[in-house]
Chains A and B, each alone.
Chain A
Amino acid sequence: MKPIFSLLSSDLVSQIIEEAFQLLMDPGIKVQHQEARDLLVGAGANLDEDQQIVRIPESVARETLDTVPRQFILYDQAENKAVQYGGDAVHFDPGSSGVNVLDPETLEHRPAVSEDLIKVIKIAEGLPQYDAQSTALVCSEIPKEIGDLYRLYLVLLYSRKPVVTGAFRAQNTQTMIEMLAICSGGRKALAAKPTAIFDVCPTPPLIWSEFGAQNLIELARAEVPAQIVSMPLAGVAAPVTLLGSVVQQAAECISGMAIHQLARSGSPIVWGGAPAIMDMRQGTTPMGAVETALIDAAYAQVGKSFGFPTHAYLGASDAKIVDYQAGMESSTTALIGALAGINMISGPGMLDFLSCVSPEKLVMDAEAIAMVKRAVEGIRVQTDPLAVGMYEGIDFKGEFLKQRLTGELFQKEQHLPSPVIDRGSIRTWESAGRTDTFQRARSRCQELLGIYQRPALPEEQERELTKLVSGLAGRAGLDHIPTFER
């Protein structure tokens, strides 16, 4: 009895899909990658060679969609099932690729360094609300040439959870797959029990860049899961209407899935995105806007109508500090995404249009996620009859606390938040130092860092991994990669 939230009528879903297929023919999709074009043409698409425009007939596209796996699993480093893509499962992971961190003391946004990413990984590792890690921060002291794979290196050293990641340049995709394969015991083992998923981005509107298409093909062939992150920007790089943007997201995803499945049919891929509306006063792209969340919920419904696994970017805020706006935007959008049954929701921990990560916010968002997950579980029938029978001996007194059933069932009915959420009396609050949520989150961060234990990566794998990354760092002009306490 999941309270799944359906925004669209089935007629509207059909119309969205129909129009998406129309877009695939007119104007078509710009595919800036030779092999991707060849794959599509080989399957029956038409090509305008000069313009790099591929027109994909519905029948051709539909055939490729048939082979997309409707569900798959991400595993942790101990080969336990950790994330279920497909169906109505809902998971969260921290937002990815922030460049700044919010300093909890000065409240300044400063460029992130390795220590910051390690801190975020350690905190996310201790929070069960996050079923996966992300490569949350780009480390400013590391050469850009290896920025993407270096983030993955740190996650592999410090976490057991599966990871949502992505490459910044085409030649690094293979290296990152190789790094994962080292930890899994080879590429076959990695494909059989994938421990990571790679975000792959089309360029709005309706473009698969050389890099994006290359990524799709390489991931498909490695059978490492790919996650399409379509980014219609309503009113700028997509139609201003929410439904117009949903149609564009569908067209970008369908064309991406076609390229991917033609490279290797049956490889896992996810229908996802990070759309936004455009704020017409500020010229910014608010991730915390409720319309942004509505686009996500709507395209997820479209993806689910095919039976595809889904992803979205929600649970983030555009506030600059962790204030009321941050909490309101993050929890509202997280709730909408969860009610829409989106399999993986990325974004928690993030501020300022996905550019800043706050470890404290990550901790606070975990509390929101716990509430959201409780909401999605809905109301369960714990007893039958529902109430009749619980009044024995009550005699019109408020003495249900004395009933054995109360003790047995309250934890099944109620989610107990961590001390980040204040539900004490004013006396308790005053005697605990009159703290606000941010201060309590700071304490919780310290507590999580205190109990964190680095997972034991087999020595040989760690050596191999470090050797690979050091070699690439050397070529990128970095004498030695930073070393950290183990």
Chain B
Amino acid sequence: MNEDIYHRMTRSIMEGEEEEAVRLAREVVEAALKPLDAINLGFMPGLERIGEQYSCGEAFLPQLVMAGEAMKGALQVLEPEMIKDGVGRELAGIVVLGTIAGDIHDIGKTLVGTMLTVAGFKVIDLGVDVPVVSLVEAAQKEKADIIGVSALLTTTMTNQRDVIEALEDLDLRAKIKIMVGGAPVTQAWAEEIGADGCSEDALGAVELARSLMAAGKRSKG
């Protein structure tokens, strides 16, 4: 694989060209090249650069989200190949995300997902109105480090507690951290329900996820 294709991969992510990113990922598979190199040397640097530009105010949400989408497209092609080869990419952590059952607010949670992806996390976003059982099952299946639960309504916020209780019932609470978010959610609420933390915004959620990973430091199989 030459420099040129890495460069094009980086650019496809930075420009949010999902079709181009997917096409380049397929080229990798067809040429039987190493998917991991494509991710680490091609696609990921594009995402990192957009992330940096975003943090210093040079890039904006639309570019960030488009880059995240392009990255997702590339990973969907490359990850099955890596599983076949038995190699994994180096991850900052694995996060299962969802807006809690009864609540259909999406935007804050989606931004958190994008920002976590940019920061090197693998994100499984289950969408909105997600039953507690789906969150827990997905976390088990994906060997998640963190479950992120969003709620925008004070009425659905109480359901965040159910996720924690379900993990306790299954004896998974020690393994899986819980972060909660959404407009009505406060640090006091997070403490009251026994969550591991909350954040006001997407950038704060990334910091929180990093600190939870550092605190957990458990090795994954």
Contacts and interface: CB of A to CB of B under 8 A. Distances in A.
Contact of A399 (B16, B61, B110, B204): B110
A416 B59 CA distance: 12
A397 B125 CA distance: 14
Contacts of B54: none
A398 B150 CA distance: 15
B13 to A, nearest CB: 14
A428 B204 CA distance: 8
B201 to A, nearest CB: 4
Interface in B158-177: none
A406 B62 contact: yes
B201 A425 contact: yes
Contacts of B204: 425, 427-428
A398 B107 CA distance: 6
Nearest to B62: A407
A412 interface: no
B198 to A, nearest CB: 10
Contacts of A407: 16, 60, 62-63, 66
A1 interface: no
* Most chain A CB within a 10 A radius of its CB, from B16, B107, B200, B203: B200
A403 B61 CA distance: 11
A407 B64 CA distance: 9
B81 interface: no
Contacts of A386: none
A402 B66 contact: yes
Contacts of B69: 402
A475 interface: no
A388 interface: no
Interface residues of B, number: 17
A428 B65 contact: no
Contacts of A486: none
A372 B177 CA distance: 47
A460 B218 CA distance: 72
B94 to A, nearest CB: 23
B106 interface: yes
Interface residues of A, number: 18
B199 interface: yes
A410 B107 contact: no
Interface in B31-80: 57, 60-63, 65-66, 69
Contacts of B203: 427-428
A427 B199 contact: yes
A25 to B, nearest CB: 61
Nearest to B66: A407
A77 B60 CA distance: 36
B200 A427 contact: yes
A419 B55 CA distance: 13
Interface in A401-422: 401-404, 406-407, 410-411, 416, 419
Nearest to A419: B57
A426 interface: yes
Interface string A144-175: 00000000000000000000000000000000
Contact of B65 (A402, A411, A416, A426): A402
Nearest to B128: A397
B186 to A, nearest CB: 10
Interface in B1-39: 16
Nearest to A411: B60
Contacts of A416: 60
26 contacts: A398-B106, A398-B107, A398-B110, A399-B110, A401-B62, A401-B65, A401-B66, A401-B110, A402-B66, A402-B69, A403-B62, A404-B16, A406-B62, A407-B16, A407-B60, A407-B63, A416-B60, A419-B57, A424-B201, A425-B200, A425-B201, A426-B200, A428-B200, A428-B201, A428-B203, A428-B204
- Going nearest first, the 7 A-B pairs with the smallest beta carbon separation are A407-B62, A427-B200, A425-B201, A401-B65, A425-B200, A406-B62, A427-B204
Interface of A: 397-399, 401-404, 406-407, 410-411, 416, 419, 424-428
Given A401-B61, A425-B201, A428-B204, 17 more contacts: A398-B106, A398-B107, A399-B110, A401-B65, A401-B66, A402-B65, A406-B62, A407-B16, A407-B60, A407-B63, A411-B60, A419-B57, A424-B201, A425-B204, A427-B200, A428-B200, A428-B203
